[in-house]
Structure 1
């Protein structure tokens, strides 16, 4: 098995503590056992072809754990590693997460124009809205899941966003203005987005309730506020579990959405229950975008398997929808930077067919 050497560079003033490596290769465990750095070096053995995203954490003298962050005390993007034979991986830590929470970080992506809250069965549902200046009436509508991740980085989980406002502004500048309605989600994400019972939603899915609310509450609210928008000009999109709920809600309620943006769909819950549910379903009026990065998986082989799965899903849908488009993101991982890069092409495909 290849030997992987992690070489660590720390920011000045790093407090004392035990430094260790965590990542998706070990389910983001906070147990330092077996993954502790000796000085600035950690040696490990990982299978050849491993793809992993990792971060540094520090066990403080009082027993608490602090994760690496950016230079402003906010969350930082994970380091990406690919094992191909014996490998040396340099890891540079920019800072540590602290009470500042990223305050003072230069803004790289545009914020929403408006934020409000709507009533929902699960409580108050934040709604983040953006539209190009000078377009106050009805516009083609894009509803995005994981709304905390799609505009400015301040609200994001990992310090990266989709830069949806930037992509939509470029589309507007090309003569195709749209309105974006983004729905942030909290720790109920697995419950709200996964339409089948599995471990992470406590075997209790709330996806039908969520899809019902979008159709019966959110859409009427937006139509009353800005003017009616035809289903053919309404798109629903999201990534990972957000891609799963997009496909599920769109195909469960044919005629509600004209376009479905299914980014990196995570279809594995319930032993791939979605693929069984999908059989024979479709919407002859809908266009469906499906994509996947070529680094989405725990290994090079696994990444190719999920690409094949997504391609087959697209082929299964093709006879039952107006159009099915499949795209592979080269060098793309399962993260916001990848979806940010693919979003502009999706928007152009949606509005410039």
Structure 2
């Protein structure tokens, strides 16, 4: 296996402790054995072609463990490692997580214009709303899952957002204003977004309940507040498990959404049950966008397999929908920065404003032609 040398650069105020490397290549283990840095250097043997997201953690003198963070004490984005032969990887730790949770972190992206709370079977559901100034009446509507990650960085998991307001403002400036309703989710995400019972939702899916709530509560509320929006101008979108629930809800309830944004769909739960469930389902009035980054996997080979899976999913859908488009994000990993980069192209495609920049585009037609 290739020999990889990992070199650390630490902030000057790093407390004493044992530093070690963890990541998805070792299931984010807290055991430092075999992965400890000595004088800021870690020699390791890693599989060729490995794609790994890693972080540095510190075992403190009292036995507790602290993970690296951003410069404000909040969570930090994982470092990315791609192994191609013997190599040296340099990692810079910006800071360490603390009790503040990054409260002082400056915001890079615009927050929602308004936040409201609606009743839901699972409790109070926040709805984060944005629309361009000067457009107070009915507008094409985009409903986004994982609403904690799509506007400003403050509520995000690791300090990165989709910058949905920035992308939508650019679209409005080009003459295509839209309204966004983003739905934050908590630790119940796997239950709400995965429509099949599996380990992470305790074998108790709540996806039907969630999809019913969008149709029965959210849409009537928004229509009453801002004016009715026809189905052809209503879009549903999300990433990973959010992409899965988007595809499920759209195919489950044909005629409800004119456009589905299926970003990096995670279709693996319950032994790929979604692929069996979707067979023959469709909506001849709906357009579907499916995408995937070319670094979404544990290895370069695995990433190509995921791309093939998403491309095949799109091809299966193509005869059963009005339009299906598959795109690949070059150099994109499975994270918010990648979805932030692909969102503007999706918005332009949704509103008929064209698609350009940074993506390999593969339109599919209802004739089922290869993509």
Scaled by the length of structure 1, what TM-score is found? 0.99
Distance 1:3 1:117 in 2: 52
Instruction: Tell me the secondary structure at the aligned position of residue 154 of structure 2.
Output: helix
Q: How does 1:260-279 map to 2 (within 5 A)?
A: 260-279=260-279
Shift of 1:46: 1.1
Partner of 1:21: 21
Q: 2:16, 2:318 → 1: CA distance? A: 57
Query: How do residues 168-317 of structure 1 correspond to structure 2 at under 5 angstroms?
Result: 168-317=168-317
Matching residue of 2:70: 70
Separation (CA, whole Å) in 2 of partners of 1:37 and 1:245: 41
Cα distance in 2, alignment partners of residues 334 and 138 from structure 1? 34
Name the stretch that deviates more: 193-202 or 316-325. Answer: 193-202
Q: Within 5 Å, give how 1:101-116 maps onto structure 2.
A: 101-116=101-116
Once the two structures are superposed, residues 277-326 of structure 1 have per-residue CA deviations (whole angstroms, 9 ceiling, x without a partner) of 01000000000000000000000000000000000000000000000000
In 1, the alpha carbon distance for the partners of 2:140 and 2:165 equals 15
The unaligned stretches of length 5 or more in structure 1 are none
Deviating more after overlay: 275-284 vs 28-37: 28-37
Aligned-partner Cα distance in 1 for 2:177–2:103: 31
Offset at residue 100 of structure 1 (A): 2.4
- Residue 43 of structure 1 aligns with which residue? 43
- Secondary structure at the aligned position of 1:223 is classed as helix
User: Mean alpha-carbon deviation: is it higher for 94-103 or for 193-202?
Assistant: 94-103
Match of 2:356 in 1: none
Kindly state the Cα deviation for residue 87 of structure 1 after the two structures are TM-superposed: 1.5
Deviation at 1:105, TM superposition (A): 2.3
Shift of 1:103: 2.5
TM-score normalised per structure 2 = 0.94
Q: Which runs of 4+ in 1 moved over 6 A?
A: none
Query: Shift of residue 45 of structure 1?
Result: 1.3
Give deviations 1:17-44, integer Å, cap 9, x for gaps. Answer: 1111111111222222221112201111
| Post-superposition offset of 1:99 | 2.1
Distance 1:56 1:73 in 2: 14
Give 1:162's aligned residue.
162
Q: Alignment RMSD, CA only?
A: 0.9
- What is the alpha-carbon distance in structure 2 between the residues aligned to residue 237 and residue 63 of structure 1? 43
- Aligned equivalents of 1:273, 1:343: Cα separation in 2: 27
Corresponding position: 1:334 with 2:334: yes
Q: State the alpha-carbon separation in 1 of the partners of residues 241 and 79 from structure 2.
A: 22
SS in 2 for 1:251: helix
Distance 1:148 1:206 in 2: 19
Distance in 2 between residues matched to 1:303 and 1:351, nearest whole Å = 30
Worse-superposed segment, 59-68 or 338-347: 59-68
Deviations 1:207-228 (A, max 9, x none): 1111111111111111111111
Aligned partners of 1:287, 1:184: CA distance in 2, in Å?
25
Q: Deviations over 1:216-256 (max 9, x none)?
A: 11111111111110010000000000000000000000001
1:340 is paired with a residue of what secondary structure? helix
